[in-house]
Amino acid sequence: MSAGNGAAVQDPPVKPVKGRGPTFVTRFLESRHLGWAGLAVGLLAPFIIATPYAMDVMTSAVVFVMLAVGLNIVVGYCGLLDLGYAAFFAVGAYTSGVLSTELKLPLLATIPAVIVVTVLAGVIIGGPTLRLRSDYLAIVTLGFGEIIRITANNLSITGGPSGIYGIPGLFGDASSDPVVFYYAVLLIVAVAVLMAARLGRSRIGRAWRFVREDEDAAEAMGINTYKVKLAAYIAGAVWGGLAGVLFAAQLSAISPASFTFLQSALVLMAVVLGGMGSTPGVVLGAIVISLLPEMLRGLADYRFFAFGVLLIIVMIARPQGLWPHRSRER
């Protein structure tokens, strides 16, 4: 290749696309209107099946999408392996749960407080840990995840191991229609997904990707990598905390058992399965991870075995994820 193109360097005609051009399918998959199509699917789902059980599963899936999109900011955009993401989920759920039951507030009214508390939690956990890189960071976040859960298990204000009961619904009424609640959650999560995607396509979002690719080169371009990583961590914390509010609203009861390492691992699995850094991929990954065990219910005791085998097959066949971040971008 290098032989023969010595002195005279000619301009070859610019040929922008290698191999096949964009097909209809790829053009659709990269279209800006895709988000609307996804939202339409979510809006139409209750018309297909609306049993209380199905609504419950679907609502959980949508909340899980929010968690995965939040973790995607930290792991996918910024490349910070966080194994304790459930900590922020717990902080959000407990903050809204405690405030709403103690002060008799509807859950939506606790959101400003939840944002403040999760930002603080992000700073407190991220501040010392983000000086570490890769594996060390993963271990320390794992530790913090457990610390938050064990703290909730031992404080009286969080109800100890039995948790908090009687959390009111989003609008203050405990027994709202599951379909209405589903739509409320869907709209909130849709906005959250859109916001996360927009963050990814901005000055700060690019800075996160630069840090993920090469921290030193990012520093050399004037990006304070510490601040930028902390910003990613805080954004992830806020998304996780708000997902916690939705979770508390759905179950009306929370306990430390909901915020184990398994939960963190499942969210991470959704991000990796879908395609790190890719918003549609992560949404799809989260839906697969949360719905697949339900779909496999027919297998009874073997369903988690089948779930594991399917995940392994997917990761072998598509290591980049189900729907990876697009490689061409102007």
User: Which stretches of the chain bind another protein, using CB under 8 A?
Assistant: 1-2, 5-9, 11-12, 14-18, 195, 198-199, 201-207, 209-210, 213-214, 216-225, 327-330
Shortest Cβ distance from residue 230 to another protein (Å)? 13
SS3 200: helix
Q: Is 153 exposed, middle or buried (0-12, 13-18, 19+ CB in 10 A)?
A: middle
Residues 321, 330: Cα–Cα separation, whole Å: 22
Residues 246 and 189: beta-carbon distance below 8 Å: yes
Question: How many Cα atoms are found within 13 Å in the side-chain-facing hemisphere of 182?
Answer: 23
Q: Which is nearer to another protein, 92 or 205 (CB)?
A: 205
Instruction: Transcribe 157-191 into DSSP letters.
Output: TTTGGG-B-----TTS-SS--HHHHHHHHHHHHHH
Min dist CB 327 to another protein, Å, is 5
Which CB, 10 or 156, lies closer to another protein?
Answer: 10
Which CB atom, from 133 or from 198, has the smaller least distance to another protein? 198
Name which of 11 and 135 has its Cβ closer to another protein: 11
Q: What angle do CA 236, 157, 141 make, to 5 degrees?
A: 30
| Closest distance of CB 270 from another protein, Å | 21
Report in angstroms how near the CB of residue 244 gets to another protein at its nearest: 21
Inter-residue contact 123 to 185 (CB < 8 Å) = no
**CB of 84 or CB of 205, closer to another protein:** 205
Nearer residue to another protein within complex by CB, 208 or 259: 208
Name the DSSP class of 300.
G
Q: Based on the number of CB atoms within 10 Å of its own CB, is 102 exposed (0-12), middle (13-18) or buried (19 or more)?
A: exposed
Minimum distance, C-beta of residue 61 to another protein, in the bound complex (Å)? 25
What is the three-class DSSP state of 254?
Answer: strand
Least CB distance from residue 69 to another protein, whole Å? 14
